[in-house]
Amino acid sequence: MRRDTRRTSVFTRRALLVMGGQVAVLGGLGARLYQVQAVEGGRYATLADENRISARMIAPPRGRILDRYGTVLAGSRMNWRAVLIAEQTTDVNATLDAFSRILPLTEHDRTRIDRDVHRHRRFIPVMVREFLTWDDMAAIEVAAPDLPGILVDVGTTRMYPFGEHLAHVVGYVAPPSEADTADDPLLALPGIRVGRAGVEKYHDIALRGRAGAVQLEVNAVGRVIRELDRQEGVQGEEAGLTIDSGLQQAVIDRLGDESASSVVLDCQNGEVLAMATNPSFDPMLFNSGVSQAQWVEWTKDRRTPLINKATVGLYAPGSTFKMAVAMAGLESKALSPTDRIECPGYLDLGDTRFHCWRKGGHGMLDLRGGLKNSCDVFFYEVARRTGIDKIAAMANRFGLGTELDIDLPGQRAGLIPTREWRIGHGHAWNIGDTIVSGIGQGFIQVTPLQLATYVARVATGRAVQPHLTRKLGGVIQPGAQPEDWPLMPLPEKTLHAVREGMWAVVNEAGGTAPQARLADQRWQLAGKTGSAQVRRVSRELRESGHFDSEKLPWEYRPHALFVAFAPYDAPRYAVSVVVEHGNAGATMAGPLARDIMTEVLQRDPSGRNEPLTAQVAEAKQP
């Protein structure tokens, strides 16, 4: 019995130990279950949903670009496309071969498709062909039994209703690069586009919009089972421009086949009403993909269709620069409106002779006569008296050789030289450089946009800045009223003297541009001609009497320029015209400017501001 009692006590201790161990294990399991289910239940539920639910972003519609009257300049339209789902075909190459017999695929297309098929899972659609027509889709549907894995899908694409006419202003979009997608995950979405030029690039972030989201239930390998929730993306903001699309078309039509550019400004507030560059290009080609042959054609064209000549083209201003020289001379007291300077047809400086465009000279001239006759000798002398630094300061003040605050990417500042600039390039400035600068030649380079701004400031006496955006996302942009721009720091009598000379150029007998006179007697135009040489003409050739620039090869002929404002008694519009290698400003650019200004005055786009006026009034309401 004593032995049995000992066994019982030993068994009881073991049972207690086992029981204690079981209780400890069960207690630990219970505590862990409590932590998992009660304390961290929400986190694990989320992890489970993440395995079951796939959240994806949806590309938002890109914002529209409109002209001043609400006409669509850039919008979106449906884009039907053929896609390939690799898992639905046993032979991808055979399917693509069959597709190519309906819609040919290039080697580049086949390489891209093959790369995408191997990069993604086999159930993810791969783009085969975009921009399908109804006939294309019908052909694909008819041949569907022979095209396993090919589906027709729909998305959106950018459209440009005015095509080449506004390509340099509106710009274009293109697929994002790898660097773009690294900076913004939104750009990795199928069908997304980014602005590459023009307003599309300048306002790209605002035009993109905000991505939407869709929740999809997926299986263990990520295949979509059903859609659980969808929130559409927010369309990008609309950009309302100052451009009058009808006027833009009229300007392009008037430029014809010339390699030329023209800018029309509201000289009261700086709104760009038209900015035309010829020749141009079709912006849709960048959206769908530019072929190698097309790219070679563009780059070999000596008329540079891809360049926005209005903001990037640099030209010597020629005689259009003479107003800036005159104002610098008047401000520095080197010249007065009544000073008379004799022009015998040349100015000798040491052993160098600087010629006037009129071989026999103009005789005695005052400032009005100097501008009216565009006398080179008169402005040689004014420049000599004034000095290049004062001329440069005046030109910069009026927008020449400076970066203007224009809402377009890639503009060039040009150059108005100074002594310091010349010394910085390792050369001393000499008086001959000043002489040729007096007629807008030498080192001087400006853009057509700068010329239009320059004339607008002369006409109104206000430091207007050119701008293209009236509204962005419904918000009125600053600069809509003349009083938004400060007065030029120059006496009114100085500006008046220059304006009178410009009026005489066109409207007074003996002026250099009678061809630019407006036919409608209600209005008068004030302007200035310019012809800028692109190569030096030797003294011997000039004095031989056999020099004729019209007989030179096209690329050696002078550029033709004309700047103007109207109406003269109440300036509202400014225009600049530059015709590359057009030879004579009076006979080539002047008539173009006349016709463009006539169209502007008849349309009077700045006089029809009801849409903007109404929105300004609405914006001012509390």
Could you tell me the CATH number of the domain that includes residue 555?
3.40.710.10
Same domain membership, residue 513 and residue 448: yes
What is the model's pLDDT at position 466?
97
Phi, psi of 88 (to 5 degrees): -90, 5
164/260 same-domain check: no
Does the pLDDT value for residue 58 go beyond 80?
no
Whether 77 shows a pLDDT value over 70: the answer reads yes
Whether residues 536 and 550 share a domain: the answer is yes
How many independent structural domains does the chain possess?
Answer: 2
Q: What is the CATH number of the domain that holds 149?
A: 3.90.1310.10
Mean pLDDT, rounded, of the chain: 86
Distance between CA atoms of 246 and 263, rounded to whole angstroms? 14
pLDDT at 507 exceeding the cut of 60 = yes
Question: Based on the domain organization, do 189 and 315 belong to the same domain?
Answer: no
pLDDT at residue 4 tops 80: no
Closest to 59 (Cα-Cα) out of 199, 222, 187: 187
Confidence of residue 1 (pLDDT cuts 50, 70, 90): low
Distances (CA, A) of 144 to 96, 141, 525: 12, 5, 66
Inform me whether the pLDDT recorded for 429 exceeds 90: yes
**pLDDT tier at 53, thresholds 50, 70, 90:** low
Shared-domain flag, residues 341 and 193: no
Which carries the bigger pLDDT value, residue 204 or residue 289? Answer: 204
How much helix, strand and coil, in percent to the nearest 5, is found in the chain?
A: 45, 20, 35
| 319 included as an active-site residue | yes
454 and 540 assigned to the same domain: yes
Q: Which carries the bigger pLDDT value, residue 61 or residue 413?
A: 413
Dihedral class, residue 387 (left if φ above 0, else alpha if ψ from -120 to 50, else beta): left
Same-domain pairing of 226 and 348: no
Residue 44 pLDDT more than 80?
A: no
- Residues 470 and 616 sit within 8 Å (Cβ to Cβ): no
Contact criterion met (CB below 8 Å) for 120 and 126 = yes
Is residue 266 situated within a structural domain?
Answer: yes
Q: Is 375 exposed, middle or buried (0-12, 13-18, 19+ CB in 10 A)?
A: buried
Same domain, yes or no: 324 and 191: no
Q: Which residue has the higher pLDDT, 313 or 618?
A: 313
The residue from 245, 319, 531, 606 that is catalytic is 319
State pTM to two decimals.
0.82
**Residue 253 CA: distances (Å) to CA of 207, 246, 256:** 30, 11, 5
Convert the pLDDT of each residue in 281-302 to its tens digit: 999 888 767 778 888 889 899 8
Which of the listed ranges 230-244, 305-319, 578-592 does the model predict with the highest average pLDDT?
Answer: 305-319
pLDDT in the model for residue 43: 56
Tokens 């080609």 map to which residue? Answer: 285
Give pLDDT, residue 579: 96
pLDDT number for residue 615: 37
* pLDDT mean over 121-138: 82
Q: 227 and 264, same structural domain?
A: no
Residue 306 and residue 402 share a domain: yes
In this structure, the answer to whether residues 262 and 178 fall within a common structural domain is: no
The confidence score (pLDDT) of residue 575 equals 98
Biggest CA–CA distance in the chain, Å, is 153
- Does 164 lie in the same domain as 250? no
Residue 39 resides in a domain: no
pLDDT of residue 219: 62
Residue 172 reports pLDDT greater than 90: yes
What is the mean predicted confidence (pLDDT) over 351-379? Answer: 94
> Pairing state of beta strands 239-241 and 65-66?
parallel
User: What is the domain extent for residue 194?
Assistant: 59-209+222-241
Structural domain includes residue 29: no
Residue 619's pLDDT band (boundaries 50, 70, 90)? very low
Which residues in 32-176 belong to E strands, given as ranges?
Answer: 53-58, 65-66, 72-84, 126-129, 150-159, 172-174
**Domain contains 353:** yes
